Amino acid sequence: MSRTQGCSNPVGVEFGCAVTAEALSTSILLRQALVRECRILSFERELKWRLLESQRGQWDYGRADTIAEFCRHNQMKARGHAPLWHAGLPPWIDGTMRRKDLWQKIETYFNNVIDRYGDIIESWDVVNEALEQNGNRPGVLREGLLPHILGDDYIASAFILAKQLAPAIPLVYNDFGPEYSFTKTRSVLRLLETLKRKGVPVAGFGLQAHLSTTMKIDQLSLRTLTRELRAMNIDLLITELDVRNRSGLLDDAALNQVCADKVRELLEPIFSIAPPRQIVTWGLLDGYSWLTSKGYKANSFPQRPLPLDESGRRKPMWSVLRQFLCS
């Protein structure tokens, strides 16, 4: 896990975290921790379409460039997150846009991202959260502008387009829920089986893993997911790991341990079948988590969602991660 701790990492799982340009630009402490602990950084929101092209035809690469240059300077790779997402579309896209016009815009968007950042992107969340939220109807897509304008085959078409533009980059479908819901696991597997059967170049499934202190992990669901992905030759990546305090715990030490235990509960069934290709946390220091940000308040409880505390000190969650990555 750590670059400086002599971790041989025999299971071959890479560790990284998501980061925002704002945090990267303002915190020396965070920058030092990223270099010390991570091999991969995920663009937390800077590659989302609504931020890159908030106004039609006007591209703003400043925030994404900040992360990309940090990666290049420190010989790190990056995860491309996330081109096609129902909540990430620019405001100028609406239901009146024609299918052909939207595909032309998507092709421009994909092309621009690959041209500018393809040298550092080592995996790409081509489509994010496309399935019905609870997965009760396996394979059914979430309602929204993308299927409305492009049709239900837009996922396959997006992967094919991405492969044409970036043939060497592993392409990932990213979603949430299998850790808590066997029905969502069935829905994810149904989608991936359909894509594979059609020859669509999907190389990985990204399990977000935004965990909760109060929800029990469905270990059978995770073992099934891991086993079936392996049978389909699809990599499992953990892409957005953190733990939200919903239990009312106020003591930092107790909360730190509960969060660490929850991460262990997630990883044990996965590693019992096969290790994931990557584990990426949604932030690294507690003080820079979306759950503690001013723009988002999870609830009135204190949040200790990440491997390092606000001062960059390693917490029990870090030890659990290191155990799985380096033992």
264-301: pLDDT as tens digits = 999 999 999 999 999 999 999 999 999 987 666 656 78
| Cβ within 8 Å of residue 127, ≥6 positions away | 82, 83, 84, 85, 155, 158, 159, 173, 174
In a domain, 5, yes or no: no
Q: Is the dihedral of CA 141, 142, 148, 154 positive or negative?
A: negative
| Contact assessment for residue 7 and residue 322, using Cβ atoms and an 8 Å cutoff | yes
**Which of 206, 243, 196 lies closest to 81 in space, CA to CA?**
206
**Residue 295: what pLDDT?**
64
Nearest to 40 by CA among 284, 322, 319: 284
Cis peptide before 203 (omega within 30 of 0): no
- Four-residue CA torsion sign, 43, 47, 52, 54: negative
Question: What is the reported pTM?
Answer: 0.95
What's the one-letter identity of residue 182? F
Interatomic CA distance for residues 303 and 247, integer angstroms: 11
CB-based contacts of 151: which residues, under 8 Å, 6+ apart?
A: 99
Total domains in the fold of the chain: 1
Give dist(CA 184, CA 133) in Å, integer. Answer: 8
Tell me the pairing of strands 171-175 and 204-207. parallel
pLDDT at 25 (0 to 100): 97
Asked if residue 8 is part of any domain, the answer here is no
The reply to whether 6 falls in a domain is no
How big is the chain by its Cα radius of gyration, in Å?
19
Average pLDDT across each block of 10 residues of the chain; the chain has 327 residues. List them in order: 53 92 97 97 97 97 98 98 95 96 98 97 97 82 95 97 97 97 95 97 98 96 98 98 89 94 98 97 96 70 94 97 90
The secondary structure of 159-178 as a DSSP string is HHHHHHH-TTS-EEEEE--T
73 CB-near residues (< 8 Å, 6+ apart):
none
pLDDT tens column, 41-89: 999 999 999 999 999 999 999 999 999 999 999 999 999 999 999 999 9
Give dist(CA 281, CA 9) in Å, integer: 17
Whether residue 29 is contained in a domain is answered as yes
Its domain, for residue 25, covers 14-326
Residue 20 lies in a domain: yes
Residue 9 lies in a domain: no
* CATH number for 42: 3.20.20.80
In a domain, 3, yes or no: no
Give domain status of residue 1, yes or no.
no
